[in-house]
Structure 1
Amino acid sequence: MLQINAVHHIAIICSDYGRSKAFYTDVLGLTVIREIHREERQSYKLDLALNGEYLIELFSFPTPPERVSRPEATGLRHLAFEVNKLDAAVEALTAKNVSVEPIRTDKTTGKRFTFFVDPDDLPIELYEL
């Protein structure tokens, strides 16, 4: 049987590297581990951490196709982050001019959650413990 230990990283391709780098670092608070410019691919690769743990690879490419987010399409649906205090997290996002959906409650777990999007319309969920 296959034994998976953990999620190693999530790779995201962005359309505007500078805008996405600012969003993931300045708005979400992820920290830069390493930034590499790959000249032969005309691409940047930014390794980002959450609480000191490697989490996201942010890539840029010259002309990536747009992601289909709505209507929901087959494939990755969203990226979810766990938070302790959802109201405080929503306030922090709205203070940085990020539009956040109304808070909802998961009918199965009774936990509260909400969604917002990154600069390329990738849905991101905040899920309260």
Structure 2
Amino acid sequence: MILNKIHHIAIICSDYQRSKTFYIEQLGLQPIHEVYREERGSHKLDLALNGDYIIELFSFPDPPPRTSRPEATGLRHLAFEVDDLENNIQQLAINGIEAEPIRTDPVTNKKFTFIFDPDQLPIELYEK
């Protein structure tokens, strides 16, 4: 098997409008295509970063909550590369989004932090 790249990541949210606002207005992702699937009672929103399709945001009726603490088996977090970590943290703070303290990766010596989406999905911001 030969893999080229990650095509997209699917996220199920508990409050579609709140998560849609977070990913578009707070993180700056661009909506590509949005549909409501009546038979599933589900919204689906495709989102892009810098023109590349990366996230499918889904809503389903009454999804169980995600276990973030203690960390559970499965996908651990979503990570975005940023040029200026401190500036991004300041911009998020203006919009009421709190970041964890900045840490330094002991292997790469790069700075990073975590924020959380409306459903407490960990999102890492990793400085380039």
TM-score by structure 2 length?
0.99
Unaligned 5+ segments in structure 1 are: none
C-alpha displacement of 1:68: 0.4
Task: Name 2:3's counterpart in structure 1.
Answer: 4
In structure 2, the partner of 1:55 is 54
Shift of 1:127: 0.2
Verify: 1:22 aligned to 2:17, yes or no. Answer: no
Identity %: 65
**Could you tell me how far apart the structure 2 residues matched to 1:99 and 1:79 are?**
17
SS in 2 for 1:24: helix
Matches of 1:73 and 1:113, distance apart in 2 = 21
Whole-angstrom CA distance in 1 between matches of 2:105 and 2:84: 16
2:33 and 2:72 map into 1 onto residues whose CA distance is 32
Mapped to 1, the partners of 2:62 and 2:70 lie a distance apart of 22
User: Does the residue aligned with 2:4 lie in a helix, a strand or coil?
Assistant: coil
Letter paired with 2:20 = K
* 4+ long deviations beyond 6 Å: none
Partners in 1 of 2:99 and 2:40 — Cα distance?
35
| CA deviation after TM superposition for structure 1 residue 46, in Å | 0.2
- Across the aligned residues of Structure 1 and Structure 2, the Cα RMSD in angstroms comes to 0.4
| 1:13 lines up with 2:9 in the alignment | no
SS in structure 1 of the partner of residue 35 of structure 2: strand
Offset of residue 48 of structure 1: 0.3
Residues paired across the two proteins, number: 128
Q: Unaligned 5+ residue runs, structure 2?
A: none
| Correspondence for 2:63 | 64
Determine the C-alpha separation between the residues in 2 that align with 1:45 and 1:69: 23
Q: Deviations over 1:21-71 (max 9, x none)?
A: 000000000010000000000000000000011000000001100000000
Match of 1:78 in 2: 77
Mapped to 1, the partners of 2:102 and 2:50 lie a distance apart of 25
Q: Give the structure 2 partner of residue 88 of structure 1.
A: 87
